[in-house]
Amino acid sequence: MNSDNQSVISDYLLKTLGIHNDPYTIKKAAFTISIHENSVFMDLITLSSMHQILIWTVSDQIIEDTLVRERLEFYLHATGAICGVICSESTKIQIINTPIRPGWRSEIIPVQEIISDTVIIEHPVFSEVLDQYLDTIWKTVSRVYFQSYGENEKKLRRLAILSAVLEILLRRIGGKITSDSDDILENSLFFYLVQFGSTIPYYSQQQVNTSVFDKEVRRKMIQSGLSLPIPQRLAIPCIDPILLVRGIHRLLSRIKTKENKKKIEKVSDCDPDSYLLSPVFSSIFHDIISRNPSIDAIFDPFSGRGEIVLLFARFLGLKCNELNKRLKNLSSAVYCSDNSISSILITRFGLALTIIGGDFSTPELVKPAHNESISQLIKHTRIGSCFFSPEVTDEFLSENEKRTAELTYRPLFTGWPDIPPKTSVLVITAPSGHVDLKIPEIRQFLCKKYNSYSTEPSFSTIAAENILLTIPYPAFIFIRRTWLSESTSEPFRRWVRKNRISKIVIDDSTKNPNDELWTCLIADSISPDIEIIRTNKNGKTKSFRIEKRELSLHGGWSLTDPSSSLILDLIRDDSIPLSEYCLGALYLHDEIKEFFEDDFWISCIAREDVLIIKSGNKPDPESAIIMKGTDNFLEGVLTSSVLQYYWKHTQDVGDGKNPPVAISLLPICRPDWYDEEEQTLVHEISNCMKKRSFLLQKLKYSQSYHDTLRIQKKITDLERNRDKMVSILYKIPENISLKYLIY
């Protein structure tokens, strides 16, 4: 296919996918499918939201080949892109990278219909194959290690094997740069990147074991790993660094579990930290990347698995197309630290792959290179804990205890990171640690240093205070939502009233206390009030401001909108309960013995924070309350955002523990039948619901995607008009209804 046709098809696809007006970058790559030895051109498109799309350009002769499609599907899973499109001069087929809509389809679905909060999609089948491959490498390399050292050298055995595994992966992904038997060209850029991504880092003058320096044993370990076949499904040339890093952390979790002789946990329990899947992180991430020109560097003082670092490294790396420029840019733009040696090692490995960015065919990798940028990266990715300062050793008496404490808690020394002045830095972190805070010496240190210390100290809240006190940059700190209610976090809540936190983003997806919900503390400059932003999985957000002095000193914080009480009062005013409106004709499902085809029923189904209204010739068996008779006006009021808002907020404060009783007490507005305007509103609401019912029936039989989209838009417009009219009937001011009730 000629380049002109490629350009035309790409433009058409961009418009069909709905991304032609969205800022994006395109990276071209070419690879060979081993089935027919056909070259396939691939465009990797990165959207402004950091989601990726693959577009493959092939000939008409191979587009229908199922084996070709299977190979391309492997590449899609390896990149973590949200979808892929394979196209020739006459055909275009799409595949979506989720288990929900499997298989290839000839009808292209716009990206906005399939986009998710998760930037990188991890397909379960791909994860399973990756885990099996990593397990095989680990066992093979371990066998060589044990043949050389037996059960000796236990102290850093796991790190020595991990280091070898990482080098094997780098060389495997590098492909033609190095063969199974050849050494990497010394002093080349790839040589330095492999060293950076696989050499064990150390804290201070920590003692190392003999096995790390035995080059002959390490060479045998590397060769044994390189001799293993690569599963075709991994599509290892295209594998995303973050997906590979996740797999390595799952591998370490399995190894630790096995070594501790505990029951092996499921792989899903080793998934990335849940805050990455939270709508809070999605909201913050999109807000940050929208500031693209103003961000020079990212600093994560508690990097853990390193996903935040790698995600933003990808974002910052998009500014540079050339490998050397990308290396130079990231070497001055990424700062991170963690107490775990293996975590920093794996993060460096991920950074090495991010710097290469899949450009293994570029000649820059094999040319002689200088080591300055790599040395700078090593300084910026440090082992150590910002949680502790060097003064922690003063709490221990003997010199031996002091030395042990230093190597155990690994405090970072003053002066790190040495960020150049006038650099625009964002601190983004989710503090977590496995430090025993109940040791007397540690308790004494925390009590002296932190205002948020309590009898049951929380690592995350104390770490948040540490960041806000010692790091003078804008900060985004993710901590679990439990700090808003736990009694042990009361000192931290009091401290929040006085420091530079300007916004708090809260995950409002569910009220189930067993769910892992997150908040994000956004710190910039000291202000007299705090902006509260509540968001959920549906992407809906609402924000309001609260004066800091109004936040209670004792007890938990609900952080609810003061305007909600005003809206609830307006809804209750001049209204009657639903039971009175229906003259008591409310039924439970068990009370209805029979019904006929020409009957009409309105069913109210109570959910956690939504009231579902269904109508038809049969009552719904899940209904909490059922009403008989056609009443389009009542159905319109019950389905409106006004009553939905009332239901959600009364459930929040515990007014509706018994759903049938709560539904029977719903306030239904009483129109003034002598007021022509209100009469008109009632008729308009009824007509709205009739049209909506007709369109819902029509939606069931729509054939094409575009027909479905058009009908859904009409339904949305009708519902919005209905909500406006119901708000007027309840006498809710327009500015309030537009802000809180009309979506």
Average per-residue pLDDT in the chain?
83
For the stretch 324-368, pLDDT in tens is 888 988 999 999 999 999 999 999 999 999 998 877 777 788 888
Stretch 494-508: mean pLDDT: 90
- Outline where DSSP puts E strands in 403-528: 425-429, 475-480, 501-507, 518-523
CA distances (Å), 530 to each of 322, 462, 496, 544, 657, in order? 43, 20, 10, 8, 32
Tokens of 635: 């159905």
Q: What is the CB neighbour count within 10 angstroms for residue 459?
A: 16
The pLDDT of residue 96: 86
Question: Burial, 274: exposed, middle or buried (Cβ in 10 Å; 0-12, 13-18, 19+)?
Answer: middle
Using DSSP's 3-state secondary structure scheme, residue 400 falls into helix
The pLDDT of residue 368: 82
Query: What secondary structure letter does DSSP report for 623?
Result: -
Q: What length does the chain have?
A: 743
Question: Contact, 192 vs 324, CB < 8 A?
Answer: no
* In the chain, % of residues over pLDDT 70: 88
296: confidence class by pLDDT, cuts 50, 70, 90: confident
Stretch 570-583: mean pLDDT: 90
- Residue 529, H or E segment: strand 529-535
For the stretch 652-700, pLDDT in tens is 544 445 888 888 999 999 888 888 899 999 999 999 999 998 998 888 8
The pLDDT of residue 293: 63
Judged against a pLDDT cut of 50, whether residue 5 lies above it is answered with no
Which is nearest to 48 in space by CA: 143, 119, 141, 103?
A: 119
The pLDDT of residue 223: 92
- Residue 334, H or E segment: strand 334-338
Judged against a pLDDT cut of 90, whether residue 189 lies above it is answered with no
- Residue-range domains of the chain with CATH: 3-113 (3.40.1350), 124-384 (no CATH), 404-559 (no CATH), 568-740 (no CATH)
228: confidence class by pLDDT, cuts 50, 70, 90: very high
Query: What secondary structure letter does DSSP report for 497?
Result: T
Q: Greater confidence, 565 or 723?
A: 723
Main-chain dihedrals φ then ψ at residue 737, nearest 5 degrees: -65, -40
The pLDDT of residue 270: 36
The pLDDT of residue 16: 81
Cα atoms found within 13 Å of the Cα of residue 157, Cβ hemisphere only: 19
For the stretch 605-621, pLDDT in tens is 887 678 889 888 888 88
The pLDDT of residue 363: 77
Stretch 68-93: mean pLDDT: 86
Using DSSP's 3-state secondary structure scheme, residue 627 falls into strand
Is the bond into 417 cis (omega within 30 degrees of 0)?
Answer: yes
Which is nearest to 450 in space by CA: 424, 432, 427, 469?
A: 469
For the stretch 526-559, pLDDT in tens is 888 899 998 887 777 778 888 888 888 888 888 8
- Which stretch of 203-217, 271-285, 317-331, 495-509 has the lowest confidence by average pLDDT? 203-217
Q: Greater confidence, 497 or 597?
A: 497
The pLDDT of residue 265: 41
CA gap 22, 19 in Å, rounded: 5
71: confidence class by pLDDT, cuts 50, 70, 90: confident
Roughly what angle, to the nearest 10 degrees, separates helices 241-259 and 124-149?
A: 50
Tokens of 107: 């009808």
The separation between CA 344 and the C-alpha centre of its own chain, rounded to angstroms, equals: 21
- Which stretch of 416-425, 685-694, 713-722 has the lowest confidence by average pLDDT? 416-425
- Which stretch of 36-40, 633-637, 648-652 has the lowest confidence by average pLDDT? 36-40
For the stretch 251-284, pLDDT in tens is 999 998 887 764 444 333 334 467 888 888 888 8
Q: What is the CB neighbour count within 10 angstroms for residue 643?
A: 23
The pLDDT of residue 656: 44
CA gap 428, 154 in Å, rounded: 35
CA gap 617, 631 in Å, rounded: 13
Stretch 563-581: mean pLDDT: 87
Judged against a pLDDT cut of 90, whether residue 49 lies above it is answered with no
* In the chain, % of residues over pLDDT 90: 26
